Amino acid sequence: MSNSGGTEKVLRYDTIAVSSESTVVSEYVPDAKKQVEYQSEAQLESEFIKLLQSQAYEFLAVTDSAGLVANLRAQLELLNGITFSDSEWATFFTEKIANETAGIVDKAAIIQEDHVQLLRREDGSVKNIYLIDKQNIHNNRLQVLNQYEVEGKRANRYDVTVLVNGLPLVHIELKRRGVELREAFNQINRYQRESFWADSGLFEYVQLFVISNGTYTKYYSNTTRNQHLKEAVAQAAAKRTSNSYEFTSWWADASNKPITDLVSFTKTFFAKHTLLNILTKYCVFTSDRMLLVMRPYQIVATERILQRIVTSGNSKTLGTLEAGGYIWHTTGSGKTLTSFKTAQLASRMAEVDKVLFVVDRKDLDYQTMHEYDRFEKGAANSNTSTRILQQQIEDPNKRIIVTTIQKLSNFVARNKQHEAYSGRFVLIFDECHRSQFGDMHTEIKRNFKNYNLFGFTGTPIFADNASTGGNPTLKTTEQAFGKKLHTYTIVDAITDKNVLPFRIDYVNTVKLPKTVTDKKVRAIDTEKALLAPERIAKVVEYIREHFDQKTQRNQTYALNERRVAGFNSLFATASIDAAKRYYLEFARQQESLPESQKLKVGIIFSFAANEDVEGEGILPEEQFETDGLDQSSRDFLEQAITDFNTTFGQNWDTSSDGFQGYYKDLSRRLKNREIDLVIVVNMFLTGFDATTLNTLWVDKNLRQHGLIQAYSRTNRILNSVKTYGNIVSFRDLEEATNEAIALFGNKDAAGVVLLRPYRDYLDEYSKLLAELSLEFEPGQLVVGEQDQKRFAELWGAILRLRNILVAFDEFSSDDSLTPFAIQNYQSTYLEIYATLKRDTDADKESILDDVEFEIELVKQIEINVDYILMRVKKYQESRGDGEGDKEIRADVMRAVDSSYTLRSKRDLIEAFINSLNLESDVDNNWRDFIQAQREKELEALILEENLNATETRTFVDRSFRDGVVKSSGTAITKILPPVSRFSPGAQHGLKKQTVIEKLEAFFERYFGLGS
Residue count of the chain? 1011
In the predicted structure, residue 1011 carries a pLDDT above the cut 70: no
Could you tell me if 265 and 118 lie in one domain? yes
Q: Considering the domain boundaries, does residue 325 fall inside one?
A: yes
Distance, CA of 764 to CA of 801 (rounded, Å): 8
Domain identity same for 854 and 898: no
In terms of domains, do 59 and 116 share one?
yes
Q: Is residue 499 part of a domain?
A: no
CA–CA distance from 1010 to each of 70, 903, 909 (Å)? 58, 16, 13
Closest CA to 682 of 655, 710, 656, 711: 710
Same domain, 850 and 902: no
Q: What mean pLDDT is predicted for residues 316-321?
A: 90
Nearest alpha-carbon partner for 692 in 664, 661, 715: 715
Strands (E) across 581-724 are located at 601-604, 677-680, 693-699
Angle, helix 576-590 to helix 631-648, in steps of 10 degrees: 40
R_g of the chain, CA atoms, integer Å: 31
Sorted by sequence, the CB contacts under 8 Å of residue 348 that are 6+ apart come out as: 15, 16, 17, 399
- The CATH number of the domain holding residue 381 is 3.40.50.300
453 and 388 co-located in one domain: yes
> Do residues 450 and 318 lie in contact, with contact meaning Cβ atoms separated by under 8 Å?
yes
How far lies 966's CA from each of 416, 584, 643, 907, 997, in Å?
Answer: 55, 41, 33, 26, 11
Residue where a domain stops, chosen among 293, 314, 347: 293
Q: How confident is the model at residue 383 (pLDDT cuts 50, 70, 90)?
A: low
In a domain, 928, yes or no: no
Q: What integer pLDDT is reported at residue 21 of this predicted model?
A: 72
The answer, yes or no, to whether residue 342 has pLDDT greater than 50, is: yes
Residue 604 lies in a domain: yes
Check: CB of residue 684 under 8 Å from CB of residue 713: yes
Residue-wise DSSP of 957-978: HHHHHHTS---SSHHHHHHSPP
Within 10 Å of residue 157's Cβ, how many Cβ atoms? 12
The verdict on 879 and 898 lying in the same domain is yes
For residues 562 and 664, membership in a common domain is answered with yes
pLDDT at 15: 35
- Count other Cβ atoms within 10 Å, centred on residue 201: 18
**Residue 523, pLDDT above cutoff 60:** no
User: What CATH number is given to the structural domain containing 158?
Assistant: 3.90.1570.50
Cα atoms in the Cβ-side hemisphere of radius 13 Å centred on 317: 16
Q: Is residue 967 part of a domain?
A: yes
Distance CA 58, CA 685 (A): 53
Angle between helices 985-1006 and 922-945 (to 10 degrees): 170
Write a three-state SS string for 475-515. Answer: CCHHHHHCCEEEEECHHHHHHCCCCCCEEEEECCCCCCCCC
Selection from 777, 799, 775 nearest residue 787 by Cα: 775
Whether 289 and 375 share a structural domain? no
DSSP secondary structure letters along 350-405: TT--EEEEEESSHHHHHHHHHHHHHHSTTSSB--SSHHHHHHHHH-TT--EEEEEH
Listed residue (926, 862, 866, 873) closest to 895, CA to CA: 862
Judged on CB neighbours under 10 Å (0-12, 13-18, 19+), 932 is: exposed
Q: Which residues lie closer than 8 Å to 183 by C-beta, 6 or more apart?
A: 175, 849, 850
User: What average pLDDT does this structure show over 829-854?
Assistant: 59
> Using an 8 Å Cβ cutoff, are 185 and 176 in contact?
no
Domains contained in the chain, number? 6
At 680-719, the pLDDT tens digits run: 998 898 878 888 999 999 999 998 888 988 999 998 888 7
The β-bridge partners of 164 are: 142, 167
C-alpha–C-alpha distance, residues 719 and 385, integer Å: 39
Count the Cβ atoms, other than its own, within 10 Å of residue 795: 23
Give per-residue pLDDT as tens, 222-272: 876 455 444 444 433 333 333 467 678 999 999 999 999 999 999 999 999
pLDDT band for position 5 (cuts 50, 70, 90): very low
For residue 731, give the 3-state DSSP assignment.
coil
How does residue 791 score in pLDDT terms, banded at 50, 70 and 90? confident
494 within domain boundaries: no
d(CA 751, CA 491): 9
Secondary structure letter of residue 650 according to DSSP: -
- Helices in 745-818 by DSSP H: which ranges? 750-753, 758-775, 785-805, 811-814
What average pLDDT does the segment 174-192 reach? 84
CA 712 – CA 705 distance, rounded (Å) = 10
Domain that holds residue 432: 296-458
Domain boundary among 247, 268, 293: 293
In a domain, 468, yes or no: no
Question: 259: helix, coil or strand?
Answer: coil
Same domain, yes or no: 426 and 541: no
Say if residues 240 and 719 touch (Cβ distance below 8 Å).
Answer: yes
CATH no. for residue 767? 1.20.58.2040
Q: Which residues contact 84 (CB under 8 A, 6 or more apart)?
A: 73, 76, 77, 92, 119
Instruction: Report pLDDT digits (tens) over 913-931.
Output: 777 776 677 777 888 888 8
**What distance lies between CA 437 and its chain's CA centroid?**
32
Alpha carbon dihedral 863, 865, 866, 868, in 10-degree steps, equals 70
> Of 824, 841, 860, which residue is a domain's last?
860
Same domain, yes or no, for 326 and 261? no
Asked whether the beta carbons of 903 and 830 are under 8 A apart, the reply is yes
Each as own residue / partner, the long-range contacts of residues 243-248 (CB below 8 Å, 24 or more positions apart, any chain) are 244/719, 244/720, 245/182, 245/185, 245/852, 246/497, 246/717, 246/720, 247/220, 247/717, 248/185, 248/211, 248/218, 248/219, 248/220, 248/224
Q: With a cut of 80, say whether residue 532 has pLDDT above it.
A: yes
Same domain, 374 and 425: yes
In a domain, 508, yes or no: no
Torsion of CA 694, 700, 703, 708, to 10 degrees: -10
Least confident of 309-318, 571-580, 840-849: 840-849
Instruction: Assess contact for 618 and 703: CB atoms under 8 A.
Output: yes
pLDDT at 494: 86
Which range is most confident: 413-417, 648-652, 908-912? 648-652
pTM (2 d.p.): 0.75
User: Are 563 and 599 part of one and the same domain?
Assistant: yes
Geometric angle at alpha carbon 467, from 465 and 469, rounded to 5°: 160
Exposed/middle/buried for 994, CB within 10 Å: 0-12, 13-18, 19+? exposed
Contacts made by residues 816-821, CB under 8 angstroms, sequence distance 24+: 816/766, 816/769, 817/769, 820/778, 821/778
Query: pLDDT at position 584, please?
Result: 97
